[in-house]
Amino acid sequence: MSTKKPPPLGNGSPARKRCPVCGEISYSQAGIHPQCNQVRSESERLKRVEKSAVAAQLIEELTQRPVMGRWDKTCPRCGTRLHSRKKTCECGHVFHRPAPEHA
C-alpha cells in the first residue's frame, strides 16, 4: 500500500523564475520575458545615452565657465569692467601683468 503524497507545490514549481524586469513569474527558461529583456536592454542603452548627454553638458559648462571668468576684471581707477586680457583701461590705467603661478 503506497500512500505517497506528492510534495507540496505551494505557489507553483520552484523552477519558475521571476522576471527581473517586471517581477512577474516568467515561464521562459531564461527567467525573463523576451519583451522585458528587450525593454531592459533598451533602457540600458538609454542610460548610456543619458550619461553621455550629461557628460557633454558638464563639458559645456566647464568650457563656458572660464570664458565668463575672463570678464572678471575691474579697473581700480575708474571702476570699469574690462576684459582680463586688456592691459590698459580707457582711462589710461595700465594693468600690471597678472602674477604667474610662482612665488
Which spans of this chain sit near Zn ion (rule: CB under 5 A)?
Answer: 19, 21-22, 33, 36, 75, 77-78, 80, 89, 91, 93
Question: Residue 41 CB, nearest distance to Zn ion (Å)?
Answer: 13
Of residues 51 and 86, the one with the C-beta less far from Zn ion: 86
Question: Residue 64 CB, nearest distance to Zn ion (Å)?
Answer: 27
Of residues 13 and 21, the one with the C-beta less far from Zn ion: 21
Question: Residue 22 CB, nearest distance to Zn ion (Å)?
Answer: 3
3-state SS class at 88: strand
Residue 26 is given by DSSP the state: E
Rounded to whole angstroms, what are the CA distances from 71 to 44, 52, 56, 59? 42, 30, 24, 20
Own/partner long-range contacts of 85-90 (Cβ < 8 Å, ≥24 apart): none
